[in-house]
Amino acid sequence: MSEVFDRLVKRLKGRQASLDRGQVRRFERGDLRFQRHDVIGIHPDRSIKIGDGGALRGDGVLHRRDGGSVRGNQESHSEKEIDMAGKSDTYEYQFLLQTFCGKAIDNISATGGTTQLWAGLHTVDPGDAGSTANEGQYSAYTRIAVDRSTAGWTVTSGTGAAVATVSPTSAITFPQVTTIGAQTFVSGSVWTSSNVGSSGMTYFGALNPNIIIGLNVTPIITTGSSITED
């Protein structure tokens, strides 16, 4: 490609800074082909400026103003990110079924992995990083195991509702507080490990209302709690 570029530069040297746009000349070498009627000048950085604001540079690539490029005899293409932030209602439902109930998703993934998930409580939002720094905070605390099955979790389809949701089939009951005074759990979480302090958080979210605990209080996440996918 560099030979093609050098030859083109040599042929354009000595011409005026702006070529007559009515001149349509085809320059071909190897598999690089383009119309030269929209070339408007050669610049000191050895790039040939194109009429639409792009440039043909020494890498042999026609760079367009819209961010695309033409390589060889390929069609112009755009090199831009596509932001796909959503899932279909059906896939949201299937994704929750696989995560919480171990159900396969046809043509995507089979069943497997842990047969249990573990619920946790936090006095501070654990954030996307899954911080465990403020998990539990009382001596008897442990994460509570919930079967990764339809016996442990109830998943509701988002097709006929605003969102797909999953809730514990039975209340999740944590150990009774026996050693500390009042504090507040503001977030709940779901993990793939029973080991407090380990990684593997799948979901987290605010507890509404918060769970205010104190001596002899038993924290419970009720069946009215839900996780949503939308």
pLDDT of 34 strictly over 60:
no
Task: Assess contact for 69 and 80: CB atoms under 8 A.
Answer: no
pLDDT of 41 strictly over 60:
no
pLDDT of 177 strictly over 70:
yes
Q: Higher confidence at residue 44 or residue 31?
A: 44
Q: Which pLDDT belongs to residue 35?
A: 44
User: Each residue of 111-168: pLDDT tens digit?
Assistant: 888 999 999 999 999 999 999 999 998 999 999 999 999 999 999 987 766 789 999 9
Q: Which pLDDT belongs to residue 83?
A: 72
Q: Which pLDDT belongs to residue 181?
A: 75
Task: Compute the Cα dihedral for 24, 28, 34, 40 and give only its sign.
Answer: negative
pLDDT of 65 strictly over 50:
no
Q: In sequence order, which residues have a C-beta less than 8 Å from that of residue 164 and are 6 or more positions away?
A: 89, 92, 93, 95, 96, 155, 156, 157, 158, 228, 229, 230
Q: Are strands 220-221 and 61-63 parallel, antiparallel or unpaired?
A: unpaired
Q: What percent of the chain has pLDDT over 90?
A: 50
Give the mean pLDDT of 5-28: 45
Q: Which pLDDT belongs to residue 56?
A: 47
CA atoms of 47 and 222, how far apart (whole Å): 66
Q: Which pLDDT belongs to residue 155?
A: 96
Give the domain ranges of the chain.
2-71, 89-229
Q: What percent of the chain has pLDDT over 70?
A: 63
Write down the mean pLDDT value for the chain.
Answer: 76
pTM for the full model?
A: 0.63
pLDDT of 45 strictly over 90:
no
CA atoms of 24 and 13, how far apart (whole Å): 17
**Strand, helix or coil at 65?**
coil
Q: Which pLDDT belongs to residue 84?
A: 74
